[in-house]
């Protein structure tokens, strides 16, 4: 299976699938469909049933049950996303494959002096003796989430070529635009027809997540007044200065670079400005819903304060919720978490249940009626040029999928 996963992974990352947050279409970039169409072709060649790619870029497919007729077995879904983050270049990916990693610092790009030092990335030492795949320093790698795709596809091929392996009905789903928060905007849960599902979109080996941030976005428009600087006294209102002043009202200790575990944050992700007009954009995150609401209230109160100081209409706020903590939807079906824990142990993986400091398609799907915890895909340093993944972690993730399938099938035979 290891060779199968490696070949698949390298094939999938060779396709640029970056999503586009500025595009109004679904999917947001046409190039995502190149990978989606390839996946449809490969699934059909395996003999998987009901393979379809819809107008919004969703791939859905079914592996039929091989259990005796009338056996009641839950329908289990496995989901990954085809798009890669637009945070770093995703085209012309040139991966480096380091076999039998010796535990030393890894030179990503000598010309750019990009070195992944074990002193800065100590988790590398966990993978001594394994095969590590890195970037060449010019692009991201795309393991988020093409590793998840490769793991699901390898498991699907195994199931289709091993009819003796017990399984209920298995659903496969690949989504676009997860990286820009639109991954399941038009996902048809009823059509997918699973009782529950797992996303393969987590980080390092062993991660298992059924809690995530509550999330909102805040876009703030600031109207300044531009006057010739030689005659600006008591007249000029510099929108850039006002934006900086607004940012200073938010608690410094609640920036992402100072938070961890269950701590939420305000993260400024964009700042565009001239004297006349400025725009600042934040993402707001917290696992605790009450603290999440408090953070949004602080944004609104700060807007009110600034408008009182500089005049009504100087600051204009667009505040929108994005997704919520899936814990509330998953806990009533906690057996799906327990099954994943057992499946990991069967694969020789130590489960590490932890909250996601982010979100997945599964967080929104859980609120759409499809409880959906998140399983590790195996990668590290997502969204950047230092991204890497151990091949053995991908192999273990695929084994975990098969173990989940077996556990539910055996339980109901």
Whole-prediction pTM value?
0.88
* Distance, CA of 301 to CA of 246 (rounded, Å): 11
Cβ-based neighbours of 259, under 8 Å, separated by 6 or more: 253, 265
Which listed residue (157, 169, 177, 178) is catalytic?
178
What's the pLDDT at 411? 77
Annotation says 178 is catalytic: yes
Annotation says 185 is catalytic: no
What's the pLDDT at 412? 63
Phi, psi of 379 (to 5 degrees): -90, 170
Indicate if the alpha-carbon torsion angle 400, 403, 405, 408 is positive or negative: negative
Could you give the angle at the alpha carbon of 257 between the alpha carbons of 119 and 377, nearest 5°? Answer: 65
Select from 214, 257, 210, 213 the least CA-distant residue to 354.
Answer: 210
Give the pLDDT of the chain (413 residues) as one tens digit per residue.
Answer: 778 999 999 999 999 999 998 899 999 999 999 999 999 999 999 999 999 999 999 999 999 999 998 888 999 999 999 999 998 888 999 999 999 999 999 999 999 999 999 999 999 999 999 999 999 999 999 999 999 999 999 999 999 999 999 999 999 999 999 998 889 999 999 999 999 999 999 999 999 999 999 999 999 999 999 999 999 999 999 999 999 999 999 999 999 999 999 999 999 999 999 999 999 999 999 999 999 999 999 999 999 999 999 999 999 999 999 889 999 999 999 999 999 999 999 999 999 999 988 878 898 999 999 999 999 999 999 989 999 999 999 999 999 999 999 999 987 65
The DSSP output letter for 380 is B
> Would you kindly state where each structural domain of the chain is located, as residue ranges?
2-211+325-411, 214-323
2-211+325-411: in CATH 3.40.630.10 = yes
Total Cβ atoms within 10 A of residue 43: 26
* Distance, CA of 7 to CA of 388 (rounded, Å): 16
Which listed residue (16, 20, 83, 157) is catalytic?
83
What's the pLDDT at 70? 83
The fold of the 214-323 domain, in CATH, is: Alpha-Beta Plaits (3.30.70)
Structure tokens at 52: 């379809």
Asked if 87 contacts 384 with a C-beta cutoff of 8 angstroms, the reply is yes
């Amino acid at each position: 299976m290891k060779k199968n996963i490696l070949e698949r992974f390298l094939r999938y990352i060779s396709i640029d699938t970056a999503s586009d947050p500025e595009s109004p279409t679904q999917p947001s970039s046409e190039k995502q469909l190149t990978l989606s169409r390839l996946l449809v072709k490969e699934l059909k060649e395996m003999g998987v049933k009901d393979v379809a790619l819809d107008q919004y870029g969703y791939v859905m497919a079914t592996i039929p049950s091989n259990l005796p007729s009338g056996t009641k077995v839950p329908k289990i879904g496995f989901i990954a996303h085809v798009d890669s983050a637009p945070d770093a270049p995703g085209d012309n990916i040139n991966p480096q494959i380091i076999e039998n990693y010796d535990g030393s610092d890894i030179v990503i790009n000598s010309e750019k002096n990009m070195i992944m030092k074990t002193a800065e990335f100590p988790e590398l030492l966990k993978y001594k003796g394994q095969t590590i795949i890195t970037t060449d320093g010019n692009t991201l790698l795309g393991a988020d989430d093409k590793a998840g795709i490769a793991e699901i596809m390898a498991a699907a091929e195994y199931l289709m070529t091993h009819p003796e392996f017990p399984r209920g009905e298995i659903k496969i789903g690949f989504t676009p635009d997860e990286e820009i928060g639109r991954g399941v905007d038009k996902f048809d849960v009823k059509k997918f027809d699973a009782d529950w599902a797992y996303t393969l979109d987590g980080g390092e080996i062993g991660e298992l997540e059924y809690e995530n941030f509550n999330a909102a976005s805040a876009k703030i428009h600031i109207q300044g007044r531009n006057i010739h600087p030689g005659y600006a006294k008591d007249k000029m209102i510099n929108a850039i200065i006002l934006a900086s002043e607004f940012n200073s009202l938010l608690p410094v200790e609640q920036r992402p670079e100072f938070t961890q575990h269950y701590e939420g944050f305000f993260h400024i992700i964009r700042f565009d400005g001239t004297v006349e007009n400025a725009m600042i954009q934040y993402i707001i995150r917290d696992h605790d819903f009450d603290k999440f609401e408090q953070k949004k209230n602080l944004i609104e109160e700060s807007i009110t304060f600034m408008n009182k100081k500089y005049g009504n209409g100087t600051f204009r706020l667009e505040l929108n919720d994005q997704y919520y903590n899936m814990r509330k939807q998953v806990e009533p079906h906690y057996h799906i978490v327990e099954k994943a824990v057992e499946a990991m142990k069967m694969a020789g993986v130590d489960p590490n249940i932890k909250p996601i400091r982010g979100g997945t398609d599964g967080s929104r799907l859980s609120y759409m009626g499809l409880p959906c915890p998140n399983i590790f895909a195996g990668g590290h340093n997502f969204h950047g040029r230092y991204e890497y993944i151990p091949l053995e972690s991908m192999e273990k993730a695929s084994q975990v999928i098969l173990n989940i399938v077996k556990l539910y099938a055996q339980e109901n035979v």
